[in-house]
Amino acid sequence: MVSFRVPSALSWQEFFARSPALVAPELLGWMLGDGVVALRIVETEAYLALEDPASHAYGGQTRRNRSMFGPPGCCYIYRSYGIHLCFNVVCHEEGTAGAVLVRAAEVKEGHSQAALRRGRASDLANGPGRLGQALGLSLQLDGACLAPPTSCEQSPLATTHQAPTWHSRLCLHPPQEPVGKIAKGPRVGISKAIDLPLRFWLADSTCLSPGRARSAQGKKRSDD
The footprint of DNA (CB under 7 A) covers 45, 47, 54-57, 59, 62-65, 68, 76, 78-84, 86, 88, 99, 101, 118, 120, 123, 127-131, 139, 187-191, 209-210, 212, 215-216, 218
State the sign of the Cα–Cα–Cα–Cα dihedral 57, 61, 62, 68.
Answer: positive
Q: Cβ–Cβ contacts within 10 Å for residue 4, how many?
A: 16
Q: Judged by CB, which is closer to DNA: 136, or 157?
A: 136
Q: Judged by CB, which is closer to DNA: 167, or 212?
A: 212
Q: Rounded to the nearest 5°, which phi and psi values hold at 156?
A: -60, -25
Q: Judged by CB, which is closer to DNA: 133, or 155?
A: 133
HEC string of 143-177?
A: CCECCCCCCCCCCHHHHCCCCHHHCCCCEEECCCC
Q: Judged by CB, which is closer to DNA: 163, or 193?
A: 193
Q: 136: exposed, middle or buried (C-beta count within 10 Å: 0-12, 13-18, 19+)?
A: middle
Q: Give me the least distance between CB of 209 and DNA, in Å please.
A: 6
Q: Give me the least distance between CB of 194 and DNA, in Å please.
A: 10
Q: Give me the least distance between CB of 172 and DNA, in Å please.
A: 16
